[in-house]
Amino acid sequence: MRVNYLKVIPGSMNRPRREWLTLLLLLGLVPVAVLLWFLHAPLLVLFAATGLAILPLAYVMGISTEELGKHMGPGLGGLLNASFGNATEIIIAIAALRAGLIRLVQASITGSIIGNILLILGLSMLTGGLRHKRQSFERKAATTRSTLLVLATAGLVMPSLLLLSSGQNIPSETITTMSLWIAVLLIIAYGGALLFSLHTHRHIFNPRGEEEEPEWSRRYAIMVLAGATVLVAVLSEILIEAVEGSIETLGLNELFLGVIVIAIIGNAAEHSSAVMLAWRNRMNLSVGIATSSSTQIALFAAPFLVFASILIGNTMTLAFELFELIAIGLSVAVVSAVANDGESNWFEGLMLLIVYGIVAVAFFFLS
């Protein structure tokens, strides 16, 4: 679903020197984070430094994925972009699963879904709306994705509902088996969504049918992508170590950390792109990034992590907390209401942000 969004990011076609300099400067955070880890820096400092260091890498992964995709043509390239679109989140989540922080991973899934449709979309609509009185986007693409989110909500609700309505006395294997079945159904929905948006109904999602020339050679793109992925993987290990320590020694709230903090780190690249596109009145792409990113998390990353967790040996089911489910349900409801008419304004953005604020307050108090 994430088809060629980055191509319209400012400077992506003709990336100016200043942007590269900023990027290089930011990438300087990577050795700093590693150094702090060697020096056994205080946990919160380590956490902050590692989180910051991941951000530019996520951006570089996005650009290189996109460049590689251009070499592969719209179909395969679109598939690549869609699958790697949330690679940062997935890498962090795998590190957390290996450390046994299952609740944290579930919470970061919730947080990514909510964050994309409330925080990113809200910031985009607010920012864009401050400059443009009324912005419009392709209605059908947005409502298809909000329907997909209703579908995903149905899937994510069921395991917890089984736990809830059977008074918790259900064997944990039943919940695992059920989660696996639902994960399979979600992946099928995801496959269908890719076929629909990249093949049979491409015109809805990419109305101008623009193709773009790659700027990077195939080899260069692969090398940059591989390098960035390795660095993100290393930093994720450090990040999770810091998180683990913080939870233990500082008594931080695992749910809040996952839903709000980790989710923001994992999605920061999408944030900046979507907001900048909205500011330039390219609302179609801005809405596309936010909504497709959250459907990818719900339909691809979540089931993928269920399978991965079993291989890793720390089984994660799809049994979320009631709180998370209600938060997802309400977010989907408010986004459906906002996206429904294919138009946005600053106040719709503000409403999304306030719902995000309400959810954040709720998770903060749910220690």
Among 155, 266, 288, 303, which residue sits at the site for a copy of itself (rule: CB under 8 A)? 155
Angle at 230 between CA 13 and CA 288, to 5 degrees: 40
Q: How many residues bind a copy of itself (CB under 8 A)?
A: 63
Residue 249 neighbours by CB under 8 Å, 6+ apart: 43
Spatial CA neighbour of 3 closest among 224, 197, 221:
197
Does 321 sit near a copy of itself (CB under 8 A)?
Answer: yes
**Minimum separation from the CB atom of position 251 to a copy of itself (A):** 16
Does 148 sit near a copy of itself (CB under 8 A)?
Answer: yes
Closer Cβ to a copy of itself, 22 or 166, answer by number: 166
Spatial CA neighbour of 244 closest among 260, 258, 230, 265:
258
Does 333 sit near a copy of itself (CB under 8 A)?
Answer: yes
Backbone angles phi, psi at 10, to 5 degrees: -50, 125
Among 44, 150, 250, 311, which residue sits at the site for a copy of itself (rule: CB under 8 A)? 150
Does 20 sit near a copy of itself (CB under 8 A)?
Answer: no
Going by their DSSP bridges, the two strands 135-136 and 343-344 should be labelled as antiparallel
Site for a copy of itself in 197-226 (CB under 8 A): 200-201
- 171 burial (CB, 10 Å; 0-12 / 13-18 / 19+) is exposed
Handedness of CA 64, 70, 71, 73 (dihedral sign): positive
The 161-200 contact track toward a copy of itself, x by CB under 8 A, reads xx-xxx-------x--xx--xx--xx-xx--xx-xx---x
8 A C-beta contact, residue 247 and residue 254: yes
Applying CB under 8 A, the residues found at the interface with a copy of itself are 133, 139-140, 143-144, 146-148, 150-151, 153-155, 157-158, 161-162, 164-166, 174, 177-178, 181-182, 185-186, 188-189, 192-193, 195-196, 200-201, 321-323, 326, 330, 333-334, 336-338, 340-341, 343, 345-348, 350-351, 354-355, 357-359, 361-362, 365-366
